[in-house]
């Protein structure tokens, strides 16, 4: 049996009782390191927090390892119970569909144990989950690579009055270009996009396209360390949010669509209090009304 | 402190360690009964499964009770730690925004502990969560009340090639019309919409509007008891799914948009195998291509 188990968002205590029971039955436990294990007590010192809780050794599985060793992992899962742990929900922001497809093709039973993911936990800001349009990803721009396919999606969502969740880029264990050229693998330090960088890139793309999908005055909600004890959550214009220090990763951003009164009441608690607040809202309403 | 704690989808074992720890600190524990506690060991016999796990008494809070006794609940939360338990995620399909807003206005600290909800757990079928458009709700039609605002939303999602999650109506503790007329409250037995009823209503509305948002041959995924050990999950045309016995509630339905190869590979495991499968897919592709 292959157990694919969501760890939730913040730390080792976010696992469910069902998930923990399953792990304790497994002979081998892998934890994915594709995305971010920042808050899960995982460091160069090892996986001790998780191992203590689970009472068994845990193997860190980065993308390379999973790709190279999928056959081994699956043949272990054929013979016995293997757990593959995933930050968030197994099918949340990051997909582990491929591993599951390969397991099922080999006739290995797969048991998925769900947990919270960014896709539902953003509900905490009060914007209704069923009022979101398509989710977009904002990749790190480089000198030569500035993809902007998110722009059209955000524009569509805004035209429909829907909110847009922007998932911000995470680069973990990326081989450095220099090392690739030299033929041996060295890795860039991990890189997590901040809300500030995301907004800068968004505004750059708006300036290029000029279709007023959004602007400096558009209301957004910025989230840092969603679901953890020290989560930070602010609502304000893009301009205002750029000035906020959200602290350590992970960050994500919601571009707010048309709001209902109950949504507004909740957002109010997270609104940055500045002068000219009314003016800001008015201008953004005009952009939304334009469509 | 008011703890608002997600219970997850299936049963008492879906709570997180963080959630359980919080409950054990609370002097009073409420569990919402707006939606469905079907699988949580809650019956006329009481809340024994939950109470055993938590080691303390649990009060069932239906909508009426929460509306009438919000002040009491909040004043308890002012003085001490109170837990309010919610099926799924606190801000998932059902909103508990109002209770949180009122608490915050009174200066009561609110701590939200997330869990899986239908909004992310549907990822298990392989359709990517970021490829979903706006979520719709399908209400029970009556003789005189046949609201169809979902139609336009599905049409838009289909035009964009996006998947649509349809949440199916739940009627728990609805006063019967007869009893209201007689001036004393009696309640209808709880009613949960099946996939079959949902599809019948969807097709009736398509026939009225005639814009080919979808049709009998459109590919859907039906889910029953999502996240539980006996979850049932089938992909097929609306016509095919109507013939499937999905068993006990809760059900939900996804109308599939344009799919990527990796999505198709996963859906394949859940596809109902019948003859003329090719023809079916072809006709649905034509509807999708029409837009």
Query: What pLDDT shows up at residue B281?
Result: 64
Q: What is the pLDDT of residues B266-278, one digit of tens each?
A: 999 999 987 555 5
Angstrom distance (rounded) from CA A197 to CA A199: 5
- Least confident window among A18-22, A81-85, A178-182, B250-254: A178-182
Residue B250, preceding bond cis, omega within 30 degrees? yes
Angstrom distance (rounded) from CA A95 to CA B127: 10
Query: Quick one: angle between helices A195-209 and A149-159, nearest 10?
Result: 80
Same domain, yes or no, for B93 and B210?
no
Chain A residue numbers touching B162 (CB-CB < 8 A): 134
Across the range A104-125, mean pLDDT stands at 96
Interface residue of B120, B264, B270 to substitute, partner A, most A CBs within 10 Å: B120
Is residue B257 less than 8 Å (CB to CB) from chain A? Answer: no
Angstrom distance (rounded) from CA A18 to CA B53: 13
| pTM for the whole structure | 0.91
Nearest CB to A135 within list B91, B117, B130? B130
Across the range B160-174, mean pLDDT stands at 91
Size of interface A-B (CB pairs under 8 A): 171
Same domain, yes or no, for A17 and A30?
yes
Q: Do B131 and A134 touch (CB under 8 A)?
A: yes
CATH number at residue A70: 3.40.1010.10
Ramachandran assignment for B180, one of left (phi > 0), alpha (psi -120 to 50 degrees), beta (any other): alpha
Query: What pLDDT shows up at residue A39?
Result: 65
Same domain, yes or no, for B12 and B143?
no
Interface residue of A10, A12, A18 to substitute, partner B, most B CBs within 10 Å: A18
The shortest C-alpha distance from B123 to chain A (Å) reads 5
Same domain, yes or no, for B140 and B260?
yes
Strand A59-61 and strand A2-6: the pairing is: unpaired
More confident residue, B148 or A68: B148
- Taking a C-beta distance cutoff of 8 angstroms, is the pair A53, A21 a contact? no
Query: What pLDDT shows up at residue B279?
Result: 54
Same domain, yes or no, for B101 and B9?
yes
Query: What pLDDT shows up at residue A64?
Result: 81
Query: What pLDDT shows up at residue A97?
Result: 85
Residue B138 has pLDDT above 80, yes or no: yes
Angstrom distance (rounded) from CA A88 to CA B16: 12
The shortest C-alpha distance from B216 to chain A (Å) reads 25
Query: What pLDDT shows up at residue A61?
Result: 87
* pLDDT, chain B, mean: 89
A residues 88-147 near B, CB within 8 Å? 89-93, 95, 97-98, 100-101, 104, 112, 114-117, 119-121, 123-124, 126, 128-137
pLDDT band per the 50, 70, 90 thresholds, residue B139? very high
What is the number of residues in chain A? 291
Query: Which of A88, A116, A144 marks a domain boundary?
Result: A116
- Least confident window among A228-237, B61-70, B239-248: B61-70
Beta-bridge partners for B166: B136, B253
Is residue A6 less than 8 Å (CB to CB) from chain B? Answer: yes
Q: Do B114 and A137 touch (CB under 8 A)?
A: no
Q: Do A130 and B128 touch (CB under 8 A)?
A: no
B residues 20-49 near A, CB within 8 Å? 20-21
- Least confident window among A96-105, A235-244, B110-119, B151-160: A96-105
Interface residue of A22, A123, A221, A269 to substitute, partner B, most B CBs within 10 Å: A123
Chain A residue numbers touching B89 (CB-CB < 8 A): 116, 120-121, 123
The DSSP secondary structure of chain A, one letter per residue, reads: -EEEEE-BSSSGGGSBHHHHHHHHH-SEEEEE-SS--TTTT-BTTBSHHHHHHHTS--EEE-HHHHHHHHHHHHHHHHHS-EEEEESB-TTSSS--HHHHHHHHHTT--EEEE----HHHHGGGGS--GGGB---EEEPPP-SS----HHHHHHHHHHHTT-BEEEEEPEE-SPBPHHHHHHTS--BPPPEE--HHHHHHHHHHHHHHH-S-S--TT-EEEEEESTTSTT-EEEEEEHHHHHT----SS-EEEEE--S--HHHHHHHHTTB---TTHHHHHHHHHHHHHH-
Query: What pLDDT shows up at residue B225?
Result: 94
Q: Do A17 and B17 touch (CB under 8 A)?
A: yes
Q: Do B92 and A117 touch (CB under 8 A)?
A: no
Q: CA of B161: which chain A residue's CA is closest?
A: A134
For B257, B280, B286, the CA distances from B164, given in Å and listed in that order, are 7, 19, 18
Residue A285 has pLDDT above 90, yes or no: no
Closest residue by Cα to residue B19 from A29, A51, A116, A81: A116
Same domain, yes or no, for B272 and B133?
yes
The shortest C-alpha distance from B36 to chain A (Å) reads 18
Angstrom distance (rounded) from CA A205 to CA A98: 32
Angstrom distance (rounded) from CA B285 to CA A265: 43
Residue A206 has pLDDT above 80, yes or no: yes
Closest residue by Cα to residue A66 from A91, A99, A110: A99
Same domain, yes or no, for B141 and B238?
yes
Nearest CB to A13 within list B16, B100, B263? B16
- Taking a C-beta distance cutoff of 8 angstroms, is the pair A7, A85 a contact? yes
Same domain, yes or no, for B37 and B135?
no
CATH number at residue B151: 3.30.950.10
Chain A residue numbers touching B16 (CB-CB < 8 A): 8, 13-17, 115
> Exposed e or buried b for every residue in A124-149, given b needs 16+ CB within 10 A?
bbbbbbbbbbbbbbbbbbeeeeeebe
Query: Which of B78, B100, B116 marks a domain boundary?
Result: B116
Structural domain of residue B199, as residue ranges? 119-290
Query: What pLDDT shows up at residue A282?
Result: 67
* pLDDT, chain A, mean: 89
pLDDT band per the 50, 70, 90 thresholds, residue A186? confident
Angstrom distance (rounded) from CA B91 to CA B240: 33
Q: Which residues contact A33 (CB under 8 A, 6 or more apart)?
A: A42, A60, A61, A62, A63, A172, A173
Same domain, yes or no, for B258 and B136?
yes
Same domain, yes or no, for B129 and B264?
yes
Same domain, yes or no, for A33 and A70?
yes
Is residue A230 less than 8 Å (CB to CB) from chain B? Answer: no
Beta-bridge partners for A30: A59, A84
- Give ∠ CA A278-A279-A285 in degrees, rounded to 5: 90
Chain A residue numbers touching B130 (CB-CB < 8 A): 93, 134-137, 167
Question: How many CB atoms lie under 10 A from the CB of residue B185?
Answer: 11
Beta-bridge partners for B136: B166
Nearest CB to A16 within list B15, B263, B265? B15
Q: What is the pLDDT of residues B205-241, one digit of tens each?
A: 999 999 999 999 999 999 999 999 899 999 999 999 9
- Least confident window among A224-228, B179-183, B199-203, B218-222: B179-183
Q: CA of A121: which chain B residue's CA is closest?
A: B114
Same domain, yes or no, for B87 and B133?
no
Chain A residue numbers touching B160 (CB-CB < 8 A): 134, 156
Angstrom distance (rounded) from CA A44 to CA B86: 38
B residues 153-212 near A, CB within 8 Å? 156, 160, 162, 167
Domain count, chain B: 2
Across the range B118-137, mean pLDDT stands at 95
Query: Which of B62, B86, B116 marks a domain boundary?
Result: B116
Nearest CB to B112 within list A124, A131, A167? A124
């Amino acid at each position: 049996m292959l157990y694919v188990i969501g760890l939730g968002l913040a730390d080792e205590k976010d696992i469910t009782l069902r998930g923990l029971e399953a792990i304790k039955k497994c002979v081998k436990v892998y934890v994915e390191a594709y995305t971010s294990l920042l808050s899960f007590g995982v460091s160069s010192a090892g996986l001790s927090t998780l191992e203590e809780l689970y009472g068994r050794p845990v193997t860190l599985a980065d993308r390379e390892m999973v790709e190279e060793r999928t056959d081994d992992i699956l043949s272990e899962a054929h013979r016995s119970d293997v757990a593959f742990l995933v930050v968030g929900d197994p099918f949340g922001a990051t997909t582990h569909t491929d591993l599951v497809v390969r397991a099922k093709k080999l006739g290995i039973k797969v048991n998925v144990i769900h947990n919270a993911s960014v896709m539902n936990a953003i509900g905490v800001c009060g914007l209704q989950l069923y009022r979101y349009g398509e989710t977009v990803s904002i990749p790190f721009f480089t000198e030569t690579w500035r993809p902007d396919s998110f722009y059209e999606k955000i524009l569509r969502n805004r035209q429909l009055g829907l909110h847009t969740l922007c998932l911000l880029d995470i680069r973990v264990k990326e081989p450095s270009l220099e090392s690739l050229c030299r033929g041996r693998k060295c890795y860039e330090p991990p890189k997590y996009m901040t809300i500030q960088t995301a907004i800068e890139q968004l505004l750059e793309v708006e300036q290029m396209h000029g279709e007023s999908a959004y602007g400096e005055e558009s209301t957004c909600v910025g989230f840092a360390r969603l679901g953890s004890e020290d989560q930070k959550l602010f609502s304000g214009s893009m301009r205002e949010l750029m000035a906020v220090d959200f602290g350590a990763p992970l960050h994500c951003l919601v571009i707010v669509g048309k709001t209902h009164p109950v949504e507004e009441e909740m957002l109010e608690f997270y609104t940055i209090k500045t002068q000219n607040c009314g003016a800001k809202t008015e201008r953004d309403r005009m952009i939304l009304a334009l469509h």
